[in-house]
């Protein structure tokens, strides 16, 4: 029912192509007044559609509606986007995009937030909140291509030695000895997640729990988990450790180090996939990069065989 009474006032409420129309009449007005208002509102909306002008909803409302049910990680980007909206409507979405692009953050971070605008604009078009898909107008920034750097055992030891706090040491030991993602290490709670000498990694990227043997090297630092100081503070401790160690790598490169080390030790690919939390062996393959030392060994054996074959050829 489009017209209803709540308390001593009548309310007009209905949906049109996914857009909620809501008006509250002043006290003392009748149901007939509500019917008249409903008719007028519907005529105004239909007229605007006939002219090719759908309502231009507030951008904040569009983003909030689109964001319902999204993950916590996405919500953090949504909140950052909402902070930059200053009364703009959906048709002004590019203004907010440019505002986000001007912030002093990395291109990757800004793109995650601009992508929120793109997705919300596309969603609004599908919901018929706008006559045109405005997501095509929202351009992402060009991101510098990251070149993965090799992490050797020597690099890993430098990082451990450069960690001057127990929290930093716990973070790096956890990554090097388990292959866990940064987000997984931050949520790790020894009181809840250690079972029969193994770490149960919960709320993983692929949605499935996995078990990792609890390494002895990490046991003295279990009291540092869970890390409650916040993602940014924890990551700063990693950056300071990396600078002291004199290495230029991403934290995620440590996962590649674990995958590569296990492969070079001859471990079965299925075991490596389960330890890293990959559903696909193809994904695990992208984490295995033969080290320069291993390449030298392989080429050394190859060269030796060539010399051996050449020597035999001389005696014929």
- Average pLDDT for 25-53: 73
What are the phi and psi torsion angles at 135 (to 5°)?
-65, -25
Give the residue ranges of DSSP H helices in 127-180.
Answer: 153-162, 166-178
- Mean pLDDT over each residue of the chain, to the nearest integer: 87
The confidence score (pLDDT) of residue 164 equals 94
Contact 172, 241 (CB under 8 A): yes
- Average pLDDT for 233-239: 90
Contact 241, 173 (CB under 8 A): no
User: In this model, does residue 127 exceed pLDDT 90?
Assistant: no
More confident residue, 308 or 115: 115
The confidence score (pLDDT) of residue 297 equals 86
- Average pLDDT for 283-312: 83
The span from the CA of 126 to the CA of 17, in Å, is 10
Model confidence band, residue 191 (pLDDT cutoffs 50, 70, 90)? very high
- Average pLDDT for 69-73: 80
User: In this model, does residue 261 exceed pLDDT 60?
Assistant: yes
The confidence score (pLDDT) of residue 218 equals 96
More confident residue, 207 or 94: 94
Pairing of strands 3-6, 9-16: antiparallel
Contact 238, 172 (CB under 8 A): yes
Domains of the chain: 3-50 (no CATH), 59-137 (no CATH), 153-285 (1.10.443.10)
Contact 112, 140 (CB under 8 A): no
User: In this model, does residue 299 exceed pLDDT 70?
Assistant: yes
The confidence score (pLDDT) of residue 210 equals 94
What confidence tens digit (pLDDT) does each residue in 113-125 have?
Answer: 999 999 999 999 9
What are the phi and psi torsion angles at 288 (to 5°)?
-110, 115
User: In this model, does residue 41 exceed pLDDT 70?
Assistant: yes
More confident residue, 26 or 169: 169
- Average pLDDT for 257-261: 93
User: In this model, does residue 175 exceed pLDDT 60?
Assistant: yes
């Amino acid at each position: 029912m489009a017209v209803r009474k709540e308390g001593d006032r009548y309310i007009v409420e209905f949906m049109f192509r996914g857009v909620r129309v809501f008006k509250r009449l002043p006290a003392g007005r009748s149901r007939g007044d509500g019917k008249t208002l409903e008719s007028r509102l519907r005529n105004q909306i239909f007229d605007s559609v006939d002219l090719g002008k759908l309502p231009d909803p507030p951008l904040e409302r569009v983003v909030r509606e689109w964001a319902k049910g999204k993950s916590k990680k996405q919500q953090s980007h949504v909140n950052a986007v909402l902070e930059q909206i200053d009364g703009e409507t959906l048709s002004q979405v590019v203004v907010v995009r440019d505002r986000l692009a001007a912030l002093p953050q990395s291109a990757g971070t800004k793109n995650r937030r601009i992508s929120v605008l793109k997705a919300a604009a596309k969603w609004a078009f599908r919901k018929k909140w706008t006559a045109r898909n405005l997501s095509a107008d929202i351009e992402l920034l060009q991101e510098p291509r990251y070149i993965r750097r090799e992490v050797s055992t020597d690099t890993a030891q430098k990082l451990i030695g450069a960690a001057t706090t127990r929290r930093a040491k716990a973070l790096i030991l956890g990554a090097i000895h388990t292959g866990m993602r940064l987000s997984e290490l931050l949520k790790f709670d020894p009181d809840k997640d250690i079972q029969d000498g193994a770490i149960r990694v919960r709320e993983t990227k692929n949605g499935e729990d996995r078990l990792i043997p609890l390494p002895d090297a990490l046991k003295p630092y279990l009291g540092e988990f869970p890390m409650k100081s916040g993602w940014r503070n924890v990551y700063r401790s990693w950056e300071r450790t990396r600078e002291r160690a004199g290495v230029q790598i991403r934290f995620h490169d440590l996962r590649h180090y674990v995958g590569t080390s296990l492969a070079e030790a001859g471990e079965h690919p299925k075991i490596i996939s389960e330890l890293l939390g990959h559903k696909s062996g193809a994904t695990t393959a992208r984490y295995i990069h033969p080290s320069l030392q291993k390449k030298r060994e392989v080429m050394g054996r190859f060269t030796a065989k060539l010399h051996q074959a050449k020597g035999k050829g001389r005696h014929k």
